[in-house]
Structures are given as structure tokens and as C-alpha cells.
Amino acid sequence: MVENEFKVMLTKEQYEKIFSLFKYDKIIEQVNYYYDTDDLKLSELHITCRVREIKGEFFLQIKLPNGAEHSRIELERKLTSLPEKISSEELDSLSGRTDLPDVKLLGKLSTNRAVKHFDGCELDLDRSGYFGKTDYELEVEFTDETAARELLKKIRAETGIVSSSDVCPGKVRRFLEEFKKAK
């Protein structure tokens, strides 16, 4: 699956303003368990390896670069439990690559996600906690970039939120920054 999305970091106040704008289709509690090598080899390759837990189910997910700023390839396989380590063979099998290393569990990031569907895009409003820190993020995933930009424009007009970019560091980057500080 190709994932196209815009991401905007928010303050708590901005998050609350956006949250009040819509009636959400669902609220999801999810936990991302991130994996890498001790020297963060996957991160250097711009590859994310995580196990996502939703309602007690586990999904191994790999995100690979797709050549465009707002686009990544996301691959997924269901697991029966949360592993401490994932072998290079399993990662290679899922990704189709032959150069990925064995990885180990680095830690977790818990997210409360409010989801609202629109024609051509989906709004995901996230409050995430990791290493004692809480942050807030707006993601707009899209199949129709024009619809996504119009939704962002509407949200900015109704809330007064100004952002210089529709790209911010993803959850894994923010997680890894805190992970490095905690080492």
C-alpha cells in the first residue's frame, strides 16, 4: 500500500480546537512498538519497523521510502504476539528486500487517534505519549491531494492555525529523538 499524507505538529490548544470541529467516525487507542538496531541502521535507511497493537491484535509494519516527500510504501503482516526481536529473514520476506538487519524492540509510543473520513482523504487527530512526553499531530491521509489540501485550508481558516509546512517529523523520528536522550 502507498501512503500519502500531510502531517502538522500542533500545540495542545490547537489540538483541542481541531477536535471540537468535527464529529469523529471513531476513536482508536493504538500502541506502536518501534524496532531497530543498536546503531539505528533502519533509521539511517529511512525505514520504519514497528508492531502496531490495536485491541489486542498485533501487526508487523514496515514503511519504506517511495521517492516523494508525502509518500511511503507501507507493508503489513499480522502477528500472534509482540516479539522482542525480529529477524532479518522476516523483514526481508515482508519487504522484498535482502539487506535488512535483525532488529530489537526499542520502546513504545501510545496514541489516542480521532478519525474522520472525507471524500478523498481522512483526518487523523493524534495525541501521543512516549518517554514521559505528550505531543499532538494532525495527519491528513489522502488519495486525492486536492481534497486533502482543501481540508487543511478549511481547518486553518476555522482555527487560525498557521503552519509553515505540511510535513513534520513522523512519530518514529520524534520517538527516536527521545530514545537517544533516554539512552
Q: Model confidence over 127-182: pLDDT tens digits?
A: 999 999 999 999 999 999 999 999 999 999 988 887 656 667 889 999 999 999 98
**Neighbour-count burial of 183, counting CB atoms closer than 10 A to its CB (0-12 exposed, 13-18 middle, 19+ buried):** exposed
First-to-final CA distance of the chain = 34
pLDDT at position 60 over 70 = yes
Q: What is the pLDDT of residues 101-114, one digit of tens each?
A: 999 999 999 999 99
Domain boundaries, the chain: 2-182
- Strand boundaries in the chain, DSSP class E: 2-10, 26-36, 48-54, 57-65, 71-79, 85-86, 103-118, 121-130, 133-142
Q: What is the pLDDT of residues 116-126, one digit of tens each?
A: 999 999 999 99
Distance CA 24, CA 76 (A): 25
Distance CA 122, CA 9 (A): 17
Can you say whether residue 55 is alpha, beta or left, with left for phi > 0 and alpha for psi between -120 and 50 degrees? Answer: left
As its CATH architecture, domain 2-182 has Beta Barrel (2.40)
Distance CA 170, CA 167 (A): 8
pTM for this structure? 0.89
Q: What pLDDT does 168 receive?
A: 78
